[in-house]
Amino acid sequence: MSISNGVQLITYADRLGDGSIESLNSLLNGPLAGLFKGVHLLPFYYPYDGEDAGFDPIDHTSVDKRLGDWSHVKKMGESVDIMADLIVNHMSAQSKQFRDVLEKGRESAYWPLFLTKQDVFTDTDETKTNEQIANVFRPRPTPFFSDYEVAGSETVPFWTTFTSNQIDIDVESDLGKEYLSSILTSFTESNVDLIRLDAAGYAIKRAGSNCFMLEETFAFIEELSKRARSMDMQCLVEIHSHYQTQIDIAERCDSVYDFALPPLVLHTLFTQDASALAHWLSISPRNCFTVLDTHDGIGIVDVGASGDKPGLLDNASIDALVEQIHVNSKEESRKATGAAANNVDLYQVNCTYYDALGKDDLNYLLARAIQFFSPGIPQVYYGGLLAADNDMELLAKTNVGRDINRPYLSTADVEAAIEKPVVKGLIELIKIRNDSNAFNGDFSVSYNDKLLALNWAHHSDTACLEIDFNTMSAVIDITDAGKSTTITTSELLG
């Protein structure tokens, strides 16, 4: 199937609009009409407000009735491409399948669906097993395994890569394959076009490895993507890792995220030096989706080193980047990052992108212009669309670090925000990215004497973003169907 080459929106159904999929669709056909070619609808399954904001579904095939039903998803899909999350690594401990395991133990029909410690680490030598476990890659500081009492008589350590409420699935078992197929069926029946494979890098475990992006993982992703394509859907792989890993994954799947772009853009604007950014854009995957902000934090690991493999930025530059975010946000990001606020991420800074740039409207539009002119399909997070501030009130209420960037914005809030000059400027950038045929062509990048040029050409149609880091000014030149247009980012602010 063909995915529209235009800007997409990332949003929760309950946090943008008035609390339902239907209300969100009204926004897309009202105040935001015509802006987005696609929507990444963040988890809307039952329950959407679980321990991990929908990423711990009890029933992945069921829309939470408080948000609507599959018919509302299908209706939205009539006018935009729909991306939905396929949470491949785990399911909720509250699911009927796992509750059956707790009740019946090894006699449960669902026992093979879930991974235990012993399923992977079979060696009876405890010292050797502990050494192998120490080599497993950790995305969070929580334990690998969580002990559950089953059948009232046995304590079993189940794999819990993320939280004790998220029980890892054995995706290689017959039951695991059937479970994932049932979700694909629900998607294809409801106009879902794109599947975001959440946490796919952790899905395959092998003793003696780091249990992350193994050769078997690549094979699993390829097979799952093949199944999705046979049902007229495409897959987007969500992996935070070393940049070379992203390049390798991109060669073997439909598309990947360019997670290196957000920190590189910040580094570029903070230092007024685009050399690292220009280098990355010269080698980055072309079959990617670009973001600056998401429902999670601003990733750092994606530009860092991995073992003896150097990163796109050195450690000193990364430290300076993180500290500058804290300074720009008036220390608000520090209250939501690291050990603060029950933060669960080892590699992210929790902050809105707007606050990370010190609420500087011009720099914010420069950042978005770079994103839109970089290779890939751009996605804009709903908070970023509206240049939302850090939600310190919500952070204080929930004490969940990522909530600093997960505000609740009503229809009235949207209508007010789209009148802000910076949002009006961003909307104009979105229209430029959507309307220019040049973005269907070839990309090139150059950087000389602090002048960065991002160029697109498709036959006679061209689009160029030129940023002079001596003056922090930018010019956009567009030629479409013989008509030329020039605009500066400062003019976008009115």
Q: Which of 81, 170, 238, 391 is catalytic?
A: 238
* Bridge partner list, 462: 457, 479
Contact status, residue 304 vs residue 298, Cβ threshold 8 Å: no
Chain center to CA of 323: 23
H or E segment and range at residue 146:
strand 145-150
Q: Which of 198, 302, 391, 461 is catalytic?
A: 198
296: annotated active-site residue: no
H or E segment and range at residue 286:
none
238: annotated active-site residue: yes
What is the C-alpha radius of gyration for the chain, rounded to an integer number of angstroms? 23
CB atoms within 10 A of CB 117: 18
Contact status, residue 312 vs residue 330, Cβ threshold 8 Å: no
Question: What is each CA distance from 156 to 21, 93, 165, 321, in whole angstroms?
Answer: 39, 13, 14, 43
Is the dihedral angle over the CA atoms 103, 108, 113, 119 positive or is it negative? positive
* Bridge partner list, 443: 456
DSSP per-residue letters across 331-357: TTGGGGSTTGGG---SSEE-S-HHHHT
Residue numbers annotated as active site: 198, 238
